[in-house]
Amino acid sequence: MFKRHGWPPAWRYHLYDFDHFHSTAHEALGIFRGHGWAAHGQELMLYSGDVLVLPAGVGHASLEANDDFCMVGAYPPGQEPEIERGDPAQLEVAQERVAAVALPEDSPVGGSLAELWREDS
């Protein structure tokens, strides 16, 4: 599905169990096996078939998952993820990179990210 909408799959793995964010890319996560708890500002139970589309700069981590939990990650064309751990010495530079990340023309699941990410939605 991601590839069909111009976000080529980049990896298949589980979600890291440490808080992190990407300062240079938006990220789509598609759960294709298992289930688990994740956090990205709030705790979410994720099941096979769920999709998260995270703006650059949004922290996330796995809290708990069953043994077969696995997902695919994808990024918009031209965006490569830089993993940030929130190091205070690097935070200002990381925030500047986040602010410079372009909004992709298309969502990884179809439609407009501008509509999905509107503050009033």
Instruction: CATH number of the domain at 65, please.
Output: 2.60.120
For the cut 60, the answer to whether the pLDDT of residue 72 exceeds it is: yes
Alpha-carbon distance of 96 to 86, in angstroms, equals 13
Count of domains forming the chain = 1
Average pLDDT over residues 49-65: 94
pTM higher than the cut 0.75: yes
Quick one: the chain helix, strand, coil %, rounded to 5? 15, 35, 50
Mean residue pLDDT of the chain comes to 92
Average pLDDT over residues 51-80: 94
Domain contains 121 = no
- The whole-number pLDDT of residue 64 equals 92
Domain contains 41 = yes
Domain contains 58 = yes
Domain contains 74 = yes
For the cut 90, the answer to whether the pLDDT of residue 115 exceeds it is: no
3: its two tokens: 């590839």
Contact 47, 9 (CB under 8 A): no
Residues spanned by the domain of 54 = 3-116
Domain contains 17 = yes
CB 7: neighbour CB atoms within 10 A? 25
